[in-house]
Amino acid sequence: MDMIVHPVLLFVAIAICGVGVALSVPRRKFHASLIGGLVAATGVGVLIVALGGAALAEGGPLPSPFFHLLAIIALGSCLQVITHRRPVYAALYFILSILSTAGLYILLAAEFMAFALVIIYAGAILITYLFVIMLASQSRVEDEEEGISEYDAVGRGPITATIVSFALLAALTSMLFTGVRAIAPPAAESVARAETVVLERLPGKIEKELTREGLMARGETVTGLERTEAGVLATVEGAGGGSRLVALPEDLAPTNTEGLAFNLLGDYPGTIEIAGVILLMAMLGAVVLARKFAQIDEEAKATAAAALAEGASAGGGRPNG
Amino acid sequence: MVDLLLAQSAFPEAISQNVLAHYLFVSAAMFTLGLVGFLTRRNLIIMFLCTEMMFQAAGIALIAFSRFHLNYEGQTFVIFVLTVAAAEAALALALVVFLFRKRDSLSAEAWAEMKG
Amino acid sequence: MTMLSMPLGALSSLVAAADGPFIATGEAPPWIALMPGLPLLGAALCVLFACLHVKSKLPGYLTVALLAGGFATALAAFLGGLDNYGVATIFRWIHASIGADTSTTIAADFGFYMDGLSTLWMLFVTGLATVIGLYSTEYVEHDKGLGYCRFFFAFNLFVFSMSTLVMADNLLLLFLGWEGVGLCSYLLIGYFYKKPEAVAAAKKAFIINRIGDLGLLMAIGATFVVFGTLEFRPLFEMVAQGIDAQGQPIGHTWVVVVIPLLLTAGAFGKSAQLFFYVWLPDAMEGPTPVSALIHAATMVTAGVYLIARMFPLYAADDAMIALTVVAWAGTLTAFWAATIEFAQYDIKRIMGYSTISQLGFMFAGLGLLGTTGAVFHVFTHAFFKATLFLCCGAVMHGFGGQLSLRRLSGVMWMKGFGITAACMFIGCLSLSGVPFTAGYFSKDMILAQAFATPSDMIGGAFLIGLLLLLTAAMTAYYTFRVFFRVFVGPKHFEPGDDDHGGDHGADHGDGHSAHHQGETEEEGDALHTGFHPHAPGWAMNSAMVLLAIGTIVVASLYFVNKKEDHGWAGTMVKHSSAAYASPGLSHGDKTAEHHGDAAAAGSHGTDSHDAANPHGEGAIEGDVKPHAEAGTLFGQDPFKIMYYVSAVLGLLGILAAAWFHGPKGAWGLGIGNREHPRRVRMDAVAAKFGPIPRWAENKWYVDELYHTVIVKPLLVLSHVFHAIDKLVIDGLVDLLGSLPRWLGAMLRPTQNGVLHSYATGMVAGSAVLIVLVVLVALL
């Protein structure tokens, strides 16, 4: 097996992580989340170090230090999500994990996705989760021990779950670390092609940039792009005809948004429509389900109105909780 | 440092297999954590939260591969994953509230009628 | 086989059996199939009547009519003479090719073989069946309705089976009839199926028959293996030449010893001889006509018939081993049964043991090479034994099932029983061998044969003769014991305790017997208020009269063809496979049968009957050794002197019975002194013998012995098998059945309805799958 890290090391590290996670799962008697977290962190750290060592051994580049930071934050907050006893905190930690994931996306040059993640996920979905948590919350007392519901306080079968999941993780990572070797990095032509395929569709942007740089006069249009050894060359046509090749400045590159836009809307328009339909269905479903609440609300409202009409003390209107 | 922050000014370079492996490991680890959380926690909302976490992990993997292959397919897919996650979250939460009102408890073990 | 039969058949039809048994070679007319066919039709009609809920006596009368038709057919076949002898094939039955190259063929057709033996048998089978059928129309009238139909169905089926047995032209069809009579015997003995004793007796009869049938079946198989055929005609031709299917001589091989012995086992099972006799006395639980027909006249003679039919095979043995066994077995059985009868009090049982005893005589006759005597005794015994049984049945019918001779007396003088008593007297005379009765002549032939057959042919023939003489004397004694106790003497009766007597007598149990001991019996029949003897009606009376007349008439058959063939029976036997030159008997014509060359032992015995017979062909056995002269008795020809000896013994027996059991007065022959049904002179004498009479009364505990030695171990074995069946086989099946249940119980806890456990299962499954893929793909 040609794995990036040695399989035994991998499995041992994963085992350590597993132990740590199992310890962190909420339990009745003693709270070992801190220790568990540290143990898990150790495991992860070992693995990351191993990966880094392997990268250095090949002479390749290391991922940016921001990666390590963001990864630790992401995994740590995920651990807190799954082990914190209070649901609200779990949701909040999840938001933190989303933010660090967004950072990882930025490192991967997918800034649009990062923004989208934050706006949609953290900003909409998670807020909804928080609303529902508070809606369905049952804690009446602030006290730590008594206020937490039974189902939150104790995890169910942590050992079995951990063993099973980390077995899966071991298998996954083995597969990943071996398969990664087999994935061929993109060929040079496709790299070159990738550069120009989006820019070709943005002549306006090129014209603007070239005009700003002074390499082009008004009235001229860019009609083509080609990639040569000297760099990317643009074919500029003059107003009266005649074309010349102009080298593009090096920092002229399509943004992630532009590239994604062309891919999303250009190659998958139908899928967008379907996505819209899915969202519509979800909305309809939520409305249907919510209608029943409305019914309950109506009944409560009716009794409250009747009570009011009798002139008794306004005890109605107690919201359904 | 500033170069790193301004990485967007130039077309992104290809990343190596090893770096890809780093990201994939993070994805796998997050997935596993989500799995553990799903199997362990009994609060329905937290369970759904853990499924969201698994979506996250998938997203990281997709974006990493998108970067590796220098195309935008992965990112497009993540957009749709987000869409589906949103739709699912809406419906799931509506159902959770519904179930909560029935049993007055958020525990997944309150619904064990399919026993046997 | 068939190619041999042609020249040989021609010869034998021209010269009746110059070289062995008579083999009927012609074609019998197909209408002889009416003899089994009419009863079969009767059986089907009785089933129809049962379905239609016929409540009258129609099934009975129809049966009698059909059986009379059968008898007419038998008469016609007999009167047609030799022309009717041969084989009539009705339809093709079994033709199977077996063997690896399908070269061996088992052929058994539904065909009938008529010769003297089967004609004689069919005469008395159909005749007796008709008469006894008439008798039973009245006897079972109390069960009119389904029971009536059931009775006559089994009756008809029985006659069909017996006809098939007797007339079969191959061993397989004979076996069909054999099994059929066993089945009908079971059905009829167990006719009163609500009586546990009857049911047990039926089972006992069937099972013991079955044990014998095993021997018969093995014999059939061996016959097929050795001779390659099951049909009589080719078989007899081969045996006549002394060869088997491959042409090898069979004279001194196992063939002529083992096969006859196996046949004998089958015959003994059916005819209640030797170890197999225990079923016959119990079979008296059946209705009396059944006892008369089946267990006196027809079914129990099937064994005799079998041996007579297969006699060529028996006689082919030089050492006569099987025949010796048959003779001794018959003799011992006859003697044993007679000893038991001294102390039996149930008159039907006495008649049953008497049947066993007389059958012993018949087998002894066969074993002593006196086939003519045996066959004639079968014929006469059928008549007089049936008469005796019917009379006993009339008594039983009339007195509410009372059969004990300690409780009946003077029946002759009771109203309506005169005919019964007369017929009984005639039957008793015949059974005891009083001079000039049928039984006298037929028994004499056998007794004389015992002394005529030299002892080096049948070992110990002289001793057999002495034993048989003793048994004959005992027979006379116990027969007239019944007569002197039951039919004459002071009138007395006590009703029996079964409700077969209908509306009277059912509630009078034996409890009255103690009450009435001290009363004088002059009044007799008014002892019990409400119970009156039920005299037999016209059907029963006419049946008894017919049979009594028949008993008298058959005595005259002794004189038909007496000089040539020793009686009418001899004529019939001569033209059958049982033909054999019995030692001591000379034959008047050249058609005497002798095996092989007649060179051996030209010296016949003392004197031959006919001066016209210069060469005494009597005692010629065969081709081997010259043997001693035919035996003598008191230095005289046994056949002549036996007339006197047996007469003396018979009269002695009757006098003894009169002395011990006879009533005062003329009917006790002047020497009896019985005044009460219970107190007889015999009791005082018997007391001197200590426990022996009691042992005899308990049938020498043979049944108990069988029960202990055979039945109980089998019961234990059956319990063992039952346990194995329940524990092992049932247990195995239950185990297999409980396996899914157990598996389900094991797996059910996984369905606990909790979401998490399902999810954990899913993850575990996918983890295993991925691990497997990873391991397989990457290793």
The per-residue pLDDT for C778 is 67
Work out whether strand C86-98 and strand A221-228 pair parallel, antiparallel, or are unpaired: unpaired
The per-residue pLDDT for C514 is 38
Give the residue numbers spanning the domain of A50.
Answer: 7-140+147-182
**A307 located within any domain:** yes
B106/C contact by beta carbon, under 8 A? no
Which residues in chain B have Cβ-Cβ distances shorter than 8 Å to A209?
none
pLDDT band (50, 70, 90) for residue C15: very low
Query: Residue written as tokens 């007369």?
Result: C422
The per-residue pLDDT for A230 is 64
The per-residue pLDDT for C700 is 84
Q: What is the CATH number of the domain that holds A48?
A: 1.20.120.1200
Choose the closest CB to B114 out of C751, C760, C763.
C751
Q: What is the ipTM of this complex?
A: 0.90
**A69 located within any domain:** yes
Query: Residue written as tokens 């008497």?
Result: C354
The per-residue pLDDT for B81 is 94
- pLDDT(C511) > 70: no
The per-residue pLDDT for C182 is 93
**A257 located within any domain:** no
pLDDT per residue over A252-268, tens digit each?
778 888 889 988 998 89
Nearest alpha carbon to residue C536 among C394, C348, C387: C394
**Domains in chain A: how many in total?**
3
Asked if A49 contacts A198 with a C-beta cutoff of 8 angstroms, the reply is no
- pLDDT(B8) > 80: no
The per-residue pLDDT for C629 is 58
Share of chain C above pLDDT 90, in %: 32
- Domain match, A276 and A194 both: no
Element (H, E) at A243: strand A243-247
The domains found in chain B, sorted by start residue, are: 15-102 (1.10.287.3510)
Query: Would you tell me which residues 31-70 of chain B have a C-beta closer than 8 angstroms to some C-beta of chain A?
Result: 31-37, 39-43, 45-46, 48-50, 52-53, 56, 59-60, 63-64, 66-70
Q: Which amino acid is at C236?
A: F
Range from A13-27, A75-89, C546-560, C582-596 carrying the lowest mean pLDDT? C582-596
Which residues in chain B have Cβ-Cβ distances shorter than 8 Å to C753?
111-116
- Domain match, A12 and A61 both: yes
The per-residue pLDDT for A297 is 62
- C723: its two tokens: 């346990």
Range from B29-43, C471-485, C744-758 carrying the lowest mean pLDDT? C744-758
Distance (Å, whole) CA A43 – CA A13 = 5
- By 3-state DSSP, what share of chain A in percent is helix, strand and coil, each rounded to 5? 70, 5, 25
Whether the pTM exceeds 0.80: the reply is no
Distance from C742 to chain A by nearest Cα, in Å?
25
Q: Is the Cβ pair B26, A186 closer than 8 Å?
A: no
- Domain match, A61 and A34 both: yes
Range from A190-204, B30-44, C87-101, C197-211 carrying the lowest mean pLDDT? A190-204
Torsion angle of C-alpha atoms C566, C568, C574, C576, degrees rounded to 10: -150
Distance (Å, whole) CA B89 – CA A286 = 10
The per-residue pLDDT for C528 is 52
- Domain match, A200 and A74 both: no
Question: How many Cβ contacts (< 8 angstroms) between chains A and B?
Answer: 293
pLDDT per residue over C244-267, tens digit each?
777 778 777 787 889 999 999 999
- Domain match, A131 and A220 both: no
- A96: its two tokens: 């933190």
Asked if C287 contacts C343 with a C-beta cutoff of 8 angstroms, the reply is no
- Domain match, A213 and A295 both: no
| Strand-pair partners of C779 | none
- Domain match, A101 and A152 both: yes
Average of per-residue pLDDT across B13-22: 85
Query: Would you tell me which residues 699-758 of chain C have a C-beta closer than 8 angstroms to some C-beta of chain A?
Result: 756-757
Asked if C444 contacts C643 with a C-beta cutoff of 8 angstroms, the reply is yes
Q: Is the Cβ pair B36, A82 closer than 8 Å?
A: yes
pLDDT band (50, 70, 90) for residue C403: confident
Sign of the CA dihedral with C102 first, then C106, C108, and C114 last? positive
- C337: its two tokens: 């049964």
A79/B contact by beta carbon, under 8 A? yes
Choose the closest CB to C759 out of B39, B114, B116.
B39
pLDDT per residue over C39-63, tens digit each?
999 999 999 998 998 888 888 899 9
**A254 located within any domain:** no
pLDDT per residue over C158-192, tens digit each?
999 999 999 998 999 999 999 999 999 999 999 99
With contact defined as 3+ CB pairs under 8 Å, the chains touching B are A, C
- Domain match, A11 and A78 both: yes
With contact defined as 3+ CB pairs under 8 Å, the chains touching C are A, B
CB neighbour burial string for C135-174, b if at least 16 within 10 angstroms, e if fewer = bbbbbbeebbeeebbbbbbbbbbbbbbbbbbbbbbbbbbb
Q: Is the Cβ pair B8, A160 closer than 8 Å?
A: no
| Strand-pair partners of C168 | C112
pLDDT per residue over C639-698, tens digit each?
878 888 889 999 999 988 888 888 877 777 777 777 777 777 777 777 787 788 888 888
The per-residue pLDDT for C206 is 93
- Domain match, A121 and A135 both: yes
Task: Collapse the DSSP code of C86 into the 3-class scheme (helix H, G, I; strand E, B; otherwise coil) and give the result.
Answer: strand
Choose between C355 and A223: higher pLDDT. C355
Question: How many Cβ contacts (< 8 angstroms) between chains B and C?
Answer: 30
**A76 located within any domain:** yes
Distance (Å, whole) CA C182 – CA C158 = 9
pLDDT (tens digit, 0 to 9) for every residue of chain A, 321 residues total? 567 778 888 888 889 888 888 888 887 777 777 888 888 888 888 888 888 888 888 777 888 888 999 999 999 999 999 888 888 999 999 999 999 999 999 999 899 999 999 999 999 999 999 998 888 775 544 445 555 666 667 777 788 889 999 989 988 888 888 888 888 888 777 777 777 788 888 888 888 888 887 777 777 777 777 777 766 777 777 766 777 777 777 777 788 888 899 889 988 999 999 999 999 999 999 888 877 555 556 677 777 777 777 765 544 444 444
- Domain match, A152 and A49 both: yes
Distance (Å, whole) CA C125 – CA C299 = 9
Query: Would you tell me which residues 48-77 of chain B have a C-beta closer than 8 angstroms to some C-beta of chain C?
Result: none
Distance (Å, whole) CA A251 – CA C78 = 136
Range from C101-110, C457-466, C716-725 carrying the lowest mean pLDDT? C101-110
Radius of gyration from C-alpha coordinates of chain B: 19
Contacts for C554-558: CB closer than 8 Å, 24+ residues apart: C554/C379, C554/C380, C554/C383, C554/C438, C555/C380, C555/C430, C555/C436, C555/C437, C555/C438, C555/C440, C555/C441, C557/C376, C557/C379, C557/C438, C558/C376, C558/C438, C558/C441, C558/C442
- By 3-state DSSP, what share of chain C in percent is helix, strand and coil, each rounded to 5? 65, 5, 30
- Domain match, A35 and A159 both: yes
